[in-house]
Structure 1
Amino acid sequence: MTVAQLLDRAKAQQVMIATAESCTGGMVAAALTDIPGSSAVVERGFVTYTNTAKQQMLGVLAETLDTHGAVSEEVAREMALGALRNSGAQLAVSVTGIAGPGGSEYKPEGRVCFGLAVSGEPTVTETVEFGALGRDNVRRAARDHALDLLSQGLSYDA
């Protein structure tokens, strides 16, 4: 599904979208808003690059960050739910990961965690290991995966 098709489907279903992004720095929201007419369905985007921003803007718990780290499905879940809670959206995607360069043995470069929150549905999380593709490529791959997740989220209401 193209981004334009995703937006058309959201509009037909009267679903507003929010994004909560860390390593992509707003690339998901930018991809959505590059399409004319996107304001009909894109409610807002949160760029929460720091842990403090995740806590202040999305309500991610300090305990979750301390226990699991920012790059975790637990944080991705709280980010997605926080985006729903702090917006007028019914569909939210979150992205948190290590774009590189760098990483560690436990959290390698290219690991990205995603959350998908749909009003009235269980929140879904997943981790994708994109590998050490380089910062730009990891960020683009994460953006594209998040857009795919939004498309899947619209399937709940289809």
Structure 2
Amino acid sequence: MSNIYQFSVTDNKQETIKLTQFTDKVLLIVNTASHCGFTPQYEGLQVLHDTFQPKGFEVLAFPCNQFKQQESGSNEEIQQFCDLQFNIKFPLFNKIEVNGNNAEPLFSYLKKQAPGILGSKSIKWNFTKFLVNRQGQVVKRYAPTTKPEAITTDIKKLLA
């Protein structure tokens, strides 16, 4: 596969979403969790969304409970938490696994296209971020410690 548009994912309402609906958009795809030290990054992700969505940018958030069970709630509970705490407007998807035999195929693809440090294919923690260009190609992977605002310059380049 040469881009992400060949994948379909499930949103948090259990509806199938073809990623072709994001054709010609710059995407930041993130595995998230509600009870993590990095959870305040939701606020920064919303700022990126608000700032760049009119120019063709989207944040896609995929809750994941694989790291110390920091996303134990249901899809509805996760949505309520995000709405109440961060007033997010970007899409939340079905809770997934990002590593192992049951990893979401999209994340298997992302990890292959943008390996981590020393070529690692696994995701080490919540809030690992993947930047995707308008052609659906993975451009860069960011560590959980990378704050959303630190990605601004890279997003601007892809939107130019």
Instruction: Provide TM-score, normalisation by structure 1.
Output: 0.38
Higher helix fraction (1 or 2):
1
More contact order relative to length (CA 8 Å, sep ≥ 6): 2
